Amino acid sequence: MKKTYQVAGHRFALTMPDRLPVWGMMQNYEPFLTEDSDDCVFEAFYIDLMPDTSAKQVVYKGTPTEGFSQYHLYTLNDGWMIEMSEPGTERILASILCNQQFTQAHFHIVEDIVYCVNNIMMMMFTFATARKSTLLVHASVTMHQGKGYLFFGKSGTGKSTHSQLWIKNIEGCELLNDDNPALRIEDDSVVRVYGTPWSGKTPCYRNLVVPVGALVDLHQAKQNTIRRQTLFEAYTSLFVSYSGYRFIKEHADGFHATTQAIVSRVPCYSLNCLPDADAAWLCHNTIVSE
């Protein structure tokens, strides 16, 4: 079975055998279903067996970290090979063979198929759109008055909490995505944020798009304060918040150009905050009014 999806204006296709039960567990992709097309940014194919990969050469090996999958990148023949390990261990859950441009992938999954398919699709989307003015970012996005406001920060900073504080206290706010929205600069030079099939632990899979109102880098603090970031600060905040391999030159060049363009077009702020309504109001009144 083949299905085609569209996220942030980019189409991609997934082909897997009908017999796989994972098809019945991919409700998060249903809002993004679209007609088949020849202009997909990538196509991914499930394979039952991996070919001989003994000629692979290491490019990058991740370090096991509790709670996070690690990805090992290799060159293989004229393309790439990626191994995805179980969070906190070296046990391989899935292997992916990609062409040089990351426009085609053939993947084999050992176990935890739903988890692996989601991660493979996110990864391929990031690679395939690296030079298409698109970033898949780790942020929570709240919509208000037709614009999207993105809240960044280290894991545990309170991105989801701050979004919920807006929604609970400020009339007319809605959640667009709680973990992996896509930013894209359109042909009209407007930066827009898109919902995606990937939203972390919060099931929020909305096929919606709005212009970006502001980017906000969150920091836990004992009092609420906010200030406008310099361009360098804004670049740094966004740089550490998106997915992708920076050591593949073509990708790094694309990420750099997109990041630079975004922070030059969108106001960016640093918010020191408590997890309270006052922080939401301070943030809202500052970034919405400017």
Average pLDDT of the chain is 93
Q: Between 159-169 and 277-287, two packed helices, what is the crossing angle to 10 degrees?
A: 80
Tell which residue, 113, 91, 86, has the closest CA to residue 17.
113
pLDDT for 64: 60
204 has a pLDDT exceeding 90: yes
Q: Cα separation of 257 and 259, whole Å?
A: 6
Query: Which pLDDT score is estimated for 65?
Result: 60
Tell me the domain boundaries of the chain: 2-128, 135-287
> CA nearest 99: which of 116, 82, 118, 122?
82
Report pLDDT for 87: 75
Residue 225 has pLDDT above 70, yes or no: yes
pLDDT at residue 66, rounded to an integer: 56
CA pair distance 288, 290, nearest whole angstrom: 6
Residue 246's pLDDT is what? 80
Burial 103-133 (b: 16+ CB within 10 A, else e): ebbbbbbeeebebbbbbbbbbbbbbbbbeeb
Lowest mean pLDDT, pick from 65-69, 77-81, 82-86, 232-236: 65-69
Of 97 and 156, the one with more pLDDT? 97
Q: Hey, what CATH topology would domain 135-287 get?
A: Rossmann fold (3.40.50)
In percent, how much of the chain has pLDDT > 90?
Answer: 84
CA distance 3 to 173: 33
For residue range 124-177, list pLDDT tens digits in order: 999 999 999 999 999 999 999 999 999 999 888 899 999 999 999 999 999 999
Among 86-95, 153-162, 185-194, the minimum mean pLDDT is found in 86-95
Counting residues of the chain whose pLDDT is more than 70, the rounded percentage is 98
